[in-house]
Structure 1
Amino acid sequence: MRRNGAIFTPASPPEALRDAAQAAEDSGVPELWLWEDCFRESAFATASAVLAWTTRLKVGIGVAPMPLRNVALTAMEIATIERMFPGRLIPGVGHGVLPWMAQVGARAASPLTLMREYVPALKSLLAGDEVSTSGRYVSLDRVRLDWPPAQAPAILVAGEGPKTVHLTGEVGDGTILPGGSNPDRVARTLAMALEGRAAAGRDDAHELVVFVPSAFGGDEARSALAEELASESGSVDPALLVAGDAAAVAEAIEPFFAAGATSVILQPRFGEDDLTDFMAGVGEVARLVTS
């Protein structure tokens, strides 16, 4: 089934999260995604708070940086939240922004090696296994969670470059693409991830989540989004100009689904000052997408 949701970006302060989460729940937004951006807001603290404030909303983490967190700690965080709020957490991990990782002394010389070691270990821990491994980055000696989740959640993995995306297919349960990815890139990414999956002998389903900057409103909102997109990339790809009323936004994201995305998560402009209105728009889009 096609999924839709919204992002609470750390451009807004943590104290704005409760109102945004409740607006999302009240508006019928299926999923609210959170970022762990250095040096703004943590992922699992905010996820726990949102899940406690709401009753239906699912919460995605897009993403927790692997270099910043020991894999056993990440497994403990996910397992704890999953046991408290079963089936409502969508955990995602990734390389992290490499300059930020360097700032805290956590940059991996080989991010691909880290991912290849980290994701399988994380999945095994969440499955309740005792894990011993000695790799370049991940070293565990008979580690087993005392309180593993009753059902381990899927682990999504962020990737952009071809080698990374191929590896997300090998080791992950889905791939997360950042904002700025048009439908053509979605299709290419899915193909690369599925190649990795086939190489690993896996034939189960593979999710593809894409973040899409968007704006609700008339010409002013459309112009503001175009200006933001141009400032980031130097030009505006018409496929990424996702703006207008809910019907227009739903129509604009249809090519992303057609390209193979299983989840299209709408991202507010960094200058968005009315998250309640934005969440109301996403809720209406969700109803149109699933109708």
Structure 2
Amino acid sequence: MDALMSITCKKFKDVYNICTQSMTKILSGSQRVKSHYFCKKDLFKTYTEVIGALLENENHWTLFFCDLTKQEVTYMDPFGEANGKKNEILKNWSYFAKAKGCALKWTRNDVPHPRQEDGHSCGVHVLMFAQALLEGKGFVDGYASVDIPQLRAQFCNILFSSLDRGVKCTVCWSVLMKEKGRKKNLPELVLNLPKKMKTKTSIFSALTEGEASDLATGLTKSLCQNVSPKLVRKDISDHNAEVTRTTLASVRANLQSSLDSRSAFSLLTHTFGPQAVDGVLGFISESLK
């Protein structure tokens, strides 16, 4: 979400995009916002607008937007905004602004928008809200629930198109490079690649280890939430299910011992690979019970 919000705001020079972690702290009323070390940038004097996505209850994206010149605060929830929540957001933003030396009187601004009709498209809605507000619109339109899959694909394309593949990731490069004149123990598939391809960074090079780990965890959670164990267990006898579970347990143990944090697979995927594989195998094993 941070990456897509940053890309969305890039062409708006007077807009400051607050990262999701900081925005969530600010609008939850955290005492940390009073710290001198929290958000050092003097955004109230440097920018005209502030925007940021926040993650609520660790599973739902909403959007915050503030017009600093008009002193207006906009809070948008894809499911709809309750008055109590909007007042809470206004109060916590005022608290943050005052802590940064900007004791102004802020007012609420409500913006009509399409509503989320499922349990997994809040991020797409928030990005569409952000685009509309940054373009100066007083409302959000131009898309419906049936457009969500296509919009998600468009955002995915924007994200991957923005990666700078000309920069080498130091972690990936350290695995692929030669050491003391001898090649490292890399898979034959990698060793046989053309020289230029060996030095290219992967899509994981744009992620920190923490982000890659979160991505793997998210994949496993999504698998558990959206794929029924009955689908995995379909037409499999109890005997065959138990035999398969026993085999999977051995496979998981072998991979866990071999694909540790120092393995090439882990380093090249910034820890995503081994965690994702283990999560998928664990899901299949649990589904066969």
Which structure would you say has the larger RCO, counting Cα contacts within 8 Å and 6 or more residues apart?
A: 1
More helix by share: 2
TM-score bracket for this pair, using the shorter chain length: under 0.3
More strand by share: 1
TM-score (norm 2): 0.27
TM-score (norm 1): 0.27
The structure whose Rg is larger is 2
